[in-house]
Amino acid sequence: MIVKVPGINGLGKTKGCEQAPNEILKALNEIYSNEQGKPIDVRLLDLEEIHLDNDNIEKSNELIYKNSLEIFEEKSKSIFLGGDHSISYSIGRAFLDYCKQNNKEPCLIIFDAHADCMPPMEEPTHEEWLRALIEENFPAENILLVGVRNFWKDEMIFLKEKGIRIISMNQFVEDIQDTCDTIMEFSNGKELYVSIDIDVVDPVFAPATGYLEPGGLSSRDFLYLIQRINKIKNLRAVDIVEINPDKDRNNLTVKLGAKILSELI
């Protein structure tokens, strides 16, 4: 199932990301098969949308949580198209509760240039969602951060206190095969949720996002990584967030989002 979640809570900084789900699906129409040779026909996809009012964040979070929980109970694998990274807070809460209710161990792997662990507001924004989720008792030992390359001091203290594992960009580029193996081993035996902030990719390849951080992954390396992750049998959920079509150049970032989606189908 592919679920459009056009939610934004970035204090005005992420306005435009709500357009991404429709734009990604539009670009997907131009991909006739993925790199594994599987034909892509958007008309045949199982599409849903969580209809949100971004002027009412509390209600939006309730809707994302409720609908995500139902989806986890009914579908073996779901892909959520955001929106900004704040949507991952409510999806993550639903994923955690689903795992608890079914005696499964949750695992969260996040690809992001930032840690998103600032002290959370009452309705967590895209800068605090992960810390808020951890404070909702998502097991910190089952969280893996990949590609972070800009931390606030408070975030570094929090991550160290919680013992959250991080794969740095240097570790990644030194041996991409080893990194993929580490990711697969980390998720072994657990229910896996993968969250993809497009800014993990270098802005040369993905310029349409809010906080550009040089030194990221190439689109080629990231697509290879996604192809490996998609082979994980216990992959239950993926989100793709922080693509802002208003900031794109030659539709490059939107097309990359569609390419990532095609490899997950």
pLDDT value at residue 174: 84
Q: Find out whether 198 and 240 touch, Cβ atoms under 8 Å.
A: yes
Q: Residue range 244-251: average pLDDT?
A: 97
Six-digit token pair at 253?
Answer: 């970032």
Query: Cα(189)–Cα(56) distance, rounded to whole angstroms?
Result: 38
What are the backbone angles phi and psi of residue 13, rounded to the nearest 5°? -80, -15
The pLDDT > 70 percentage for the chain reads: 100
Residue ranges covered by each domain of the chain: 2-264
Put simply, whether the predicted model's pTM sits higher than 0.75 gets the answer yes
What are 160-208's pLDDT values in tens digits? 999 999 999 998 888 889 999 999 999 999 999 999 999 999 999 999 9
Average pLDDT along the chain: 96
Q: Is the peptide bond before 83 cis (omega within 30 degrees of 0)?
A: yes
Domain 2-264: state its class. Answer: alpha beta
